[in-house]
C-alpha cells in the first residue's frame, strides 16, 4: 500500500503517517536510551563503577556511554551495506531488535557489588551492541522517508524523523520524573533507576508492530526490479574518489558541526546544570523538559523552510550562532540558575597555587591510581564541589594551596600516607575547604527559590533552537548528496562519525577539560571549535542540493 501510493505521487495521509512512524520508531528508541543513560550517569557510576574514585568513576560512566557512539561508524559499515543489498525495511527490523534488547538488559544487569569487574564489562558490552545497531538505524530511516516524500517536501517529511528524536528525549524525561516522584529519591538511587530501562520493552513491542506493517521503499524496489542496485556498496561508497569526497564533505561540512550543536544543547547543558551549577537533578530534568517542549516544533519549521531556501544556509547558520553565543549563554545560565554561585565566583575567585609538576591529568585508565599530591587533592575536591578556579604556578616543591578571595588554605601531600590515613585527612581537609567556601558565599547546592526559572528555560530553549536549525534539515541534505544505489551506506558513515565521535565524546571530553582547567566553561571550546570548522568547510565546499532528483 505504501509503495503503491508513493509510486502514484504523494502518499496518502494514512500511509504517510505509517511511513514516518515506522521509520522514526528507531530514532525514538535511540534517543530514549541515550537520554536515559545520560540523565542517570551518576547512578550508573555508583552501581557499576564503584571500584574507583568519584571523579574517575563519573568519567568512566560517560566513556561507557560514549563507547556506544565509538562503534556506530562500524555499525554503519555492517548494517548499511545490508540496507543497500537487502533493502531498507529488512535491515532496520534487525537493528531495532538489537537496540531494544540492549536497552532493556541494562535494567537487569547486576551491580559492581554483586558481579565485581564483570558488571562494568557487561555494561560496556551492551553499549557496544547498542552502538553497532544504531549505526544501521538513522541512514535507513532518513533514506526510507525521503524516498517516499513528494518533490518539494523532502525537508518537511524527513524533519519528522528529527522531531521524534526529541520525542524520545522527552519521553525519557517524563518516565524519569514520574518514577523519581513515585518511588522517592532514596529508592530511586537504590533500585528504581532501573525502571526506565525496563519500560523500554513496551516501546520495543510497539515499534516492531509498526515496522512489520511497512513495505519496502519504492525507490529501492524500483532499483531491484530494474536490476540497477549496487553489488558492492562499500567499494562504490569509499573506493571511488568522486563519492568518497562527498562523504568527507558531508562529515566536515555538515554532520560534525550538527553533532556538537545537538549534543551541547540537549545533553551537555543538562550535565552542566547538574554537575557545575549544582541544580537538583529533578529540577534539572524539568527545566530541560520545558525547553524541549517549547523548541520541538521548530524541527518541522526548519525542515519546511529548508524546502524553500535550502538545507545548507539553515544548518550553517545554526553552527555560526553556536560559535558566537555559547560562552555568553552558558554564563547567563549560571547567573540565572544559581545566582549565589555566580556572585561568589565574581566576589571571591578561587585560585589553586601549585607547582605544575605536582599536578596530574586526573583520568585513570584502570581506575586504580591514587591522586594524592597536594595539587591533585586540591583540584579534585574543587571539581567535585563544582567550583571554578584559576591556576597559578608556584616554585618547585611548594605544597599547593587554595586561595578563596583573601583566605588561603594550604593543601597537604598524601603520597606517603597509608590509604586509611589519606582518606581520613582528606575528609577533614575537604570539610575545612567546604567551610571556607561557604563563608565566601559559595553554595553547596543551588537554592531552587532563587533560581530564575523563566530565564533559565529561555536560555535552554535558545540552545535547543540551535539544535532544531542544524538537525531539522540534515536528513534531507544527506539523502540528496548521494546516489540511490549506495545512499544508505554513503550517508550513514559521515552521520555516525559526526554524531558518534564528535558528538558522543563531547560530554566526557568537555568534562575532563573542565576538571583539568578548573574553568566550568572551558569545555565549551570543544563544540565551538568543531562548529566553526563545519561553518567554514560547509560555506566554501558543500554544494546546495535542495530538490535534487534522488531516484538515480
Round the CA-based radius of gyration of the chain to a whole number and report it. 24
Strand pairing report for 401-404 and 350-354? antiparallel
Q: Report if residue 551 sits inside a domain.
A: no
State the helix-helix crossing angle for 118-135 and 487-497, rounded to 10 degrees.
Answer: 140
% residues pLDDT > 70 (the chain): 85
pLDDT for the residue 533: 98
In the DSSP assignment, the letter for residue 251 is: I
Query: Among 9-13, 30-34, 67-71, 476-480, which range has the highest average pLDDT?
Result: 476-480
Q: All 3 cell numbers of residue 265?
A: 544543547
Query: Among 8-17, 72-81, 216-225, 391-400, which range has the highest average pLDDT?
Result: 391-400
Are residue 316 and residue 375 in the same domain, yes or no?
no
Per-residue pLDDT band for 14 (boundaries 50, 70, 90) equals very low
Are residue 357 and residue 321 in the same domain, yes or no?
no
- Quick check: 124 pLDDT over 70? yes
- Quick check: 57 pLDDT over 70? no
Question: Regarding predicted confidence, which is higher, 163 or 525?
Answer: 525
Average pLDDT over residues 6-14: 39
What is the signed CA dihedral for 476, 481, 484, 488, rounded to 10 degrees? Answer: -70
Q: Exposure string (b/e) for 375-411, b if CB count within 10 Å is 16 or more?
A: bbbbbbbbbebbbbbebeebeeeebbbbbbeeeebeb
- Asked which of 406, 439, 472 is the last residue of a domain, the reply is 439
- Quick check: 404 pLDDT over 70? yes
Are residue 226 and residue 360 in the same domain, yes or no?
no
Q: Exposure string (b/e) for 300-317, b if CB count within 10 Å is 16 or more?
A: bbbbbbbbeebbbbbbbe
pTM over 0.85: no
Of residues 409, 407, 422, the one with CA closest to residue 373: 422
Give the Cα separation of 166 and 302 in Å (integer). 15
- Quick check: 215 pLDDT over 90? no
Are residue 360 and residue 499 in the same domain, yes or no?
no
Average pLDDT over residues 26-42: 75
Are residue 96 and residue 167 in the same domain, yes or no?
yes
Are residue 471 and residue 417 in the same domain, yes or no?
no
pLDDT for the residue 212: 77
What average pLDDT is seen over the chain? 83
Are residue 232 and residue 320 in the same domain, yes or no?
yes
Of residues 57, 70, 40, the one with CA closest to residue 197: 40
For the stretch 491-526, pLDDT in tens is 778 888 888 789 878 887 888 788 778 888 999 999
Per-residue pLDDT band for 7 (boundaries 50, 70, 90) equals very low
- Asked which of 382, 414, 439 is the last residue of a domain, the reply is 439
Question: Regarding predicted confidence, which is higher, 228 or 149?
Answer: 149
Are residue 418 and residue 392 in the same domain, yes or no?
yes
Q: Which domain holds residue 370?
A: 347-439
pLDDT for the residue 10: 41
Average pLDDT over residues 144-158: 83
Beta bridge partners of 390: 351
Q: Report if residue 57 sits inside a domain.
A: yes
- Quick check: 68 pLDDT over 50? yes
Q: Report if residue 546 sits inside a domain.
A: no
Q: Report if residue 137 sits inside a domain.
A: yes
Are residue 141 and residue 161 in the same domain, yes or no?
yes
% residues pLDDT > 90 (the chain): 36
Are residue 421 and residue 453 in the same domain, yes or no?
no
pLDDT for the residue 18: 75
Q: Report if residue 293 sits inside a domain.
A: yes
Of residues 162, 199, 160, 161, the one with CA closest to residue 177: 199
Question: Regarding predicted confidence, which is higher, 319 or 181?
Answer: 319
- Asked which of 399, 415, 439 is the last residue of a domain, the reply is 439
- Quick check: 87 pLDDT over 60? no
The count of domains in the chain is 2
Q: Report if residue 240 sits inside a domain.
A: yes
- Quick check: 252 pLDDT over 70? yes
Are residue 429 and residue 509 in the same domain, yes or no?
no
Three-state secondary structure string covering 151-205: CCCHHHHHHHHHHHHHHHHHHHHHHHHHHHHHHCHHHHHHCHHHHHHHHHHHHHH
For the stretch 377-397, pLDDT in tens is 898 888 777 788 989 999 999
Strands in 272-381 per DSSP E: 350-354
Sign of the C-alpha dihedral computed for residues 158, 163, 167 and 168 taken in this order: positive
- Residue 221 maps to which CATH number? 1.20.1250.20
- Residue 394 maps to which CATH number? 3.40.30
Are residue 191 and residue 106 in the same domain, yes or no?
yes
Are residues 107 and 195 in contact, defined by beta-carbon separation less than 8 angstroms? yes
Are residues 550 and 146 in contact, defined by beta-carbon separation less than 8 angstroms? yes
Average pLDDT over residues 441-450: 91
Amino acid at each position: 500500500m505504501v509503495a503503491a501510493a508513493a509510486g502514484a505521487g504523494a502518499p496518502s495521509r494514512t500511509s504517510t503517517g505509517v511511513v514516518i512512524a515506522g521509520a522514526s520508531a528507531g530514532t525514538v528508541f535511540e534517543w530514549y536510551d541515550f537520554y536515559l543513560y545520560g540523565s542517570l550517569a551518576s547512578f550508573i557510576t555508583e552501581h557499576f563503577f564503584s571500584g574507583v574514585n568519584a571523579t574517575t568513576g563519573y568519567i568512566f560512566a560517560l566513556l561507557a556511554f560514549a563507547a556506544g557512539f565509538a562503534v556506530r561508524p562500524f555499525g554503519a559499515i555492517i548494517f548499511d551495506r545490508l540496507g543497500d543489498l537487502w533493502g531498507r525495511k529488512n535491515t532496520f527490523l534487525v537493528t531495532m531488535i538489537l537496540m531494544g534488547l540492549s536497552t532493556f538488559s541494562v535494567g537487569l544487569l547486576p551491580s559492581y557489588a554483586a558481579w565485581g569487574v564483570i558488571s562494568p564489562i557487561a555494561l560496556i558490552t551492551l553499549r557496544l551492541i547498542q552502538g553497532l545497531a544504531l549505526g544501521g538505524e538513522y541512514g535507513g530511516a532518513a533514506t526510507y522517508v525521503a524516498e517516499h516524500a513528494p518533490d518539494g517536501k523532502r525537508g518537511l517529511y524527513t524533519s519528522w524523523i528529527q522531531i521524534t528524536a526529541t520525542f524520545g528525549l522527552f519521553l525519557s524525561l517524563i518516565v524519569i520524573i514520574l518514577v523519581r516522584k513515585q518511588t522517592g529519591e532514596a529508592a530511586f538511587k537504590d533500585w528504581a533507576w532501573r525502571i526506565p530501562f525496563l519500560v523500554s520493552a513496551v516501546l520495543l513491542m510497539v515499534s516492531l508492530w509498526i515496522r512489520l506493517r511497512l513495505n519496502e521503499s519504492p525507490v529501492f524496489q524500483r532499483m531491484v526490479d530494474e536490476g540497477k542496485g549496487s553489488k558492492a556498496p562499500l567499494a562504490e561508497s569509499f573506493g571511488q574518489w568522486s563519492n568518497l569526497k562527498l562523504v568527507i564533505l558531508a562529515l566536515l561540512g555538515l554532520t560534525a558541526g550538527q553533532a556538537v550543536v545537538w549534543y551541547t544543547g540537549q545533553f551537555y547543558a543538562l550535565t552542566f546544570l547538574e554537575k557545575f551549577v549544582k541544580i537538583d537533578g529533578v529540577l534539572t530534568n524539568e527545566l530541560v523538559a520545558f525547553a524541549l517542549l517549547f523548541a520541538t516544533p521548530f524541527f518541522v519549521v526548519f525542515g519546511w523552510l529548508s524546502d524553500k531556501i535550502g538545507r545548507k544556509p539553515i544548518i550553517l547558520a545554526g553552527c555560526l550562532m553556536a560559535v558566537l553565543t555559547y560562552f555568553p549563554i552558558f554564563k547567563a545560565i549560571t547567573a540565572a540558575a544559581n545566582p549565589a554561585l555566580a556572585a561568589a565566583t565574581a566576589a571571591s575567585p578561587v585560585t589553586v597555587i601549585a607547582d605544575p609538576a605536582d599536578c596530574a591529568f586526573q583520568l585513570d585508565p584502570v581506575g586504580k591510581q591514587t591522586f594524592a599530591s597536594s595539587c591533585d587533592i586540591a583540584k579534585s575536591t574543587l571539581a567535585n564541589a563544582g567550583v571554578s578556579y584559576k591556576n597559578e604556578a608556584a616554585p618547585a616543591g611548594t605544597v599547593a594551596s587554595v586561595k578563596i578571595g583573601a583566605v588561603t588554605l594550604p593543601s597537604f601531600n598524601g603520597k606517603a600516607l597509608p590509604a586509611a590515613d589519606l582518606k581520613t585527612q582528606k575528609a577533614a581537609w575537604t570539610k575545612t575547604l567546604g567551610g571556607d567556601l561557604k563563608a565566601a558565599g559559595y553554595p553547596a547546592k543551588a537554592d531552587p527559590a532563587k533560581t530564575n526559572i523563566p530565564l533559565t528555560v529561555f536560555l535552554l530553549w535558545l540552545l535547543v533552537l540551535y539544535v532544531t536549525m542544524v538537525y531539522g534539515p540534515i536528513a534531507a541534505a544527506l539523502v540528496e548528496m548521494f546516489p540511490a544505489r549506495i545512499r544508505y551506506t554513503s550517508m550513514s558513515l559521515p552521520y555516525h562519525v559526526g554524531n558518534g565521535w564528535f558528538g558522543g565524546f563531547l560530554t566526557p571530553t568537555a568534562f575532563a577539560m573542565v576538571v583539568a582547567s578548573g574553568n566550568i566553561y572551558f569545555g565549551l571550546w570543544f563544540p565551538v571549535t568543531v562548529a566553526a570548522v563545519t561553518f567554514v568547510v560547509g560555506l566554501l565546499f558543500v554544494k546546495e542540493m535542495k530538490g535534487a532528483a534522488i531516484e538515480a
